[in-house]
Amino acid sequence: MNNFRHISLYDIRMFTQVLKEKFLIDFTEYASTYLRMRLENFMSKWNVSSLDSLLIRMQDNDILLNRLIEALSVETTEMFRDPSLWRKLYATYLPKINSSQINIWLPDITSDDELYTLLVVLDRLNLLDKTYILATSAYKVNLDRTKTGEISMKKYEVSNDNYKRYMQDNEASLDKYFVFSDNKAYFSQELIERVNYAVLDVLVRMPDRTFDLVLFRNRMLYYSLNLQNKILERIYPAIAKKRYLIVGFKENISRFAFSDHFKFDDKEDKIYKRVK
């Protein structure tokens, strides 16, 4: 580790390599700045002076390992982030999917926000019974966290504010989807149980069906460009033709080898339609 208060990119590279080889956790091709900052915060929180020391402490310590995975898995901020997108899904895209079952996939889930938001929208549309929702992550700890339903009150308040914007109604409230206890908010277990969860690394294995909608917002931010393209190459065949991939407002798939298999259906909210 160098003398500065930051860790070097070289140290990070070595660390992620050992993490992959020894602990089977792969962050080798993740974006460098967020990874460095998260590792520095983690080391500070756990009072670890170097990445080498962290590796030693993680041996036979699954709790610390899981905490590290959680620390490096960035949450997607809040429910109903980008309310305009969710209004479009509610008003147009979801009702338009004219099939006996709607199949939706959320790959590489790190937190609950997008999933809970989707569940609320589907509930309001009365579409839950005919929707198959798959939420996957390469790490069980991320799925376990999502299944608890727990969010902080601060996040709940921000989400509720977004919900009012989504509903375009200052009186609207997410309250009916939550129970509150010990200064925390817990999302409806009944809705959480409607989801199918699977530990799945898309680089190794894919779901066994195609999907009408793949919701993949603000995940690629944390991948290197190379990893982004590798994962898109795996995901895109799972999107049924004439169906949709949604990425984050400031993400794009233009550098992806098969980007010409998609065209914008909604450029403002980054809804791509698979055309080939």
Q: What SS3 state is found at 64?
A: helix
Is residue 165 within the footprint of other proteins (CB under 8 A)?
A: yes
Distance from the Cα of residue 106 to its chain's centroid? 7
Instruction: Between 68 and 191, name the residue whose CB sits nearer to other proteins.
Output: 68
Torsion of CA 145, 90, 131, 240, to 10 degrees: -100
In the complex, least distance from residue 89 CB atom to other proteins, rounded to whole angstroms: 17
Is residue 276 within the footprint of other proteins (CB under 8 A)?
A: no
Candidate segments 74-82, 91-99, 118-126, 184-192, binder of other proteins by CB under 8 A: 74-82
Nearest to 156 by CA among 170, 172, 134, 173: 173
Is residue 107 within the footprint of other proteins (CB under 8 A)?
A: no
Tokens 């208060």 locate to 5
Rounded-to-integer distance, Cα 15 and Cα 9, Å: 10
Candidate segments 2-10, 42-50, 141-149, 168-176, binder of other proteins by CB under 8 A: 2-10
In the complex, least distance from residue 115 CB atom to other proteins, rounded to whole angstroms: 15
* Half-sphere exposure for 273 (CA within 13 Å, toward CB): 9
| Binding-residue pattern over the window 46 to 65 for other proteins, x denoting contact by CB under 8 A | --------------------
Among 5, 98, 100, 183, binds other proteins (CB under 8 A): 5
Is residue 176 within the footprint of other proteins (CB under 8 A)?
A: no
Q: Residue type for 130, please?
A: K
Is residue 249 within the footprint of other proteins (CB under 8 A)?
A: yes
Residues 6+ apart with CB under 8 A from 215: 104, 105, 106, 114, 118, 246
What does each C-alpha distance from 77 to 21, 140, 156, 158, 166 come to in angstroms? 31, 20, 11, 9, 16
Instruction: Between 166 and 177, name the residue whose CB sits nearer to other proteins.
Output: 166
Is residue 255 within the footprint of other proteins (CB under 8 A)?
A: yes
Among 220, 232, 235, 271, binds other proteins (CB under 8 A): 220
Q: In what helix (H) or strand (E) does residue 198 lie, and over which residues does it extend?
A: strand 196-199
- Positions 13 through 32 that interact with other proteins (CB under 8 A): 31-32
Query: Residue 258 gets which letter from DSSP?
Result: T
Tokens 């006996």 locate to 100
Is residue 226 within the footprint of other proteins (CB under 8 A)?
A: no
The contact set with other proteins (CB under 8 A) reads 4-6, 9, 31-34, 36-37, 74-77, 81, 83, 165, 218, 220-222, 225, 228, 248-252, 255
